[in-house]
Structure 1
């Protein structure tokens, strides 16, 4: 099902690249994966088997790598994920507390 979509997408969708885009920061990619994978593991393991020391360790490791990732993104001229987007109400609007009522 996806093969025709992938083949047609290249022909039908216009190319749109940022001419001022920076290079891919592999250190940020690695930090992001080191943050995300233990967090996902911890959440899935706690849901299936309940909390234990291993999941607590995975959660702590994921949180530490997430903190390192966020700090790195704030320092880079061309971040992998521009965290300033989360300050924009149009970007975060649907998640704002005024929509929860």
Structure 2
């Protein structure tokens, strides 16, 4: 009988799952947490098959956290709090317009 394949995850300081892998590919599991074991692609190729929604979403935010050994899906509110959206870079045109408006304000024109 074949031995079950173990699935391990790594978590960050907020217990957000940031990595997933199987015992097939891990030689040192010291910093990993075992979450499951079994047979089949879900276990042997955990990176792409273990989580129903994948490890990250379309915005590159993680989808899951580990709470008392259980996998819990992050809510959208939790994601917004944990992964704030990066500030948008202003285009060159917008920067020039802002500087022109500032100059006109300083000159008292507007």
TM-score by length of 2: 0.23
Richer in strand (by share) = 2
TM-score by length of 1: 0.24
By relative contact order (CA 8 Å, sep 6+), the higher-ranking structure is 1
Richer in helix (by share) = 1
